[in-house]
Chain A
């Protein structure tokens, strides 16, 4: 009966809390041994750079998943934001920064649409965001007429292609966003309410929390981080491509789940999600360095994913305690 007094943070407990990091570390060590080029500062910065795309989208996705929802529109939102920003900055004649701002707001706007459908329309998040995924992709194609938009100026490409103190700008952006959202989740009432909704929406409502407002915040943030992902990719490619971000939502979900988020809601966190995104990034980079043919790469990535999730489940089963990665103190 008195199971609550388990003050034994030993090996198993450590594994349980940190399984994502352990897996990331294992993969990094594996590649370090197998590929001499892997463990160089230059290559690690490249991996960080390549991971930002998925990581940014996954940050918003994590919030949606913690509430027990999902946001399938992130890939299309990334494309729409990139295209709008590039188009307005170049042929629209608005200039780079207004263009970037409007691109970001467009992402938040799709998030607003998602939230409206979910909160007011009572449409399940999966269905609502599936619809906006199609809408945002369609708007992108309408706006670009299916053709890339090039001719970005240096102020725009700066955010994708240049470095500060040796670290690429996208990584800085990711760091700032990750820290902000992590603080939001772990230190603010809004963050606690996001976890609470995932654990029991009705209970949270009865506790006097305005659940609708919380969900609006979640999907707007998710739209905004997806937009950031698209803007950075556009800056990195020096052009807006109407077909970017296809399948990004799946990578983002994978990153969140690898990072310990539960699709049932109530569980998850930004550090874990970042580790999850890095696992995906490290795998792509490492397998390329190991010269694994691309067809095999896809199989290996799928296997590693299921392996990681099972390992996580396995470790938690052994402890026979339901887990939860909610911050307990400040």
Chain B
């Protein structure tokens, strides 16, 4: 293995320098990745704490610990912070930054200073949103008009924050597209690219093309509140459904901004721990792009009961089913990759397998919502809440935790306690299902979402869900403690603890500044596991 001897002579690891300026002025993609990782994780924990609080309120049908207004504020903040500060930047900005240059054999992204600028803009947006907490909005993260025009809470500040975050998202996406196009190492052809890169590419396209629309939408919403224009206000001749159309034109593709990077992560973890080539590489790669493309034409499936025409509803229902097909293909491909493998149930692999299982539930329940007649009954009930969390937590967060456990040795050069990681995984998995499975039934029984109080017949299932949230909370707490502890007293990580074939494992852990001493010349794809001579093809 030639790369081992090279490792001895390489320059200092990227983590060597300390001091605050060495971070906030760093243009090293790996450091910027860490800054994103720390920021998004902090917001994930804050928004999670909000959820635990209002889940506690739902233990009893009537008022428990908070008045309805506080409840409404908390679910709004939970949603807005989770979506805009955690999950949209999420895997793309943290792991995307860390991995894209390493995986394609580049020294950094195409525009390192712009990359740092994106992070600062993210931070600025985050600060504005924190200021908005002084008089927090109670509109729900969707900011539907005309309520968001009329409420006396501060909607302007939080939407302004999200507007600013949009720039960060656009610039990151732009940076990644150019990086993937122009900075691939010699020999790293499109069809040799790791699937995480394909996923990041599809995500970046969505970020660049969808975000401007939410920017203009939020700008118009701010203008409604400040200048008194009335595009979305029926009292002024405007149309509230127009807002929904605009909002979902961004926010549906945004759902895929959130999930596609996690799909990329899963496609990396499974072949390594199964020691098998990924099954159906091209199908997975192109289905990411297909999902990205179709996702621009399905937005109105959030609006079947809002008053859109029957024709529009029918067209959008049809297109929604189209997007389900590439998604299903991915699930089958991942499962097939396991066939005749040598499966190491490492904690990262456990998260990856959980992803497949939970995402299957999330995806199948999405089929209910795409079917017009079924959606009428299920829309705006807890069924939606459960479905969305199966995709966003069962999917993206499982992918995020999987990525954390998988690339942790590479990124930080340390190992974490694997046994504790497995226990934490178990609690997260059980807690998550206990929290959200009952919500499917609450939804089919008809409990509407965003209810601070509810009729007593829904109590038992709500109790189960709240108890589940405690287990989930404890599980996540252990994950965090275990990973932080590893940073201080974990063993030193070897260069390639899982014998992965991907380029990032060909450099020391943690990688040196500028990654590669010499740009590698790629001769094979990333997934050449298994014995080639014994099998056909």
Do chains A and B interact in one complex? no
Q: Which A residues contact B (CB, under 8 angstroms)?
A: none
Q: Which positions in B face A, CB cutoff 8 Å? A: none
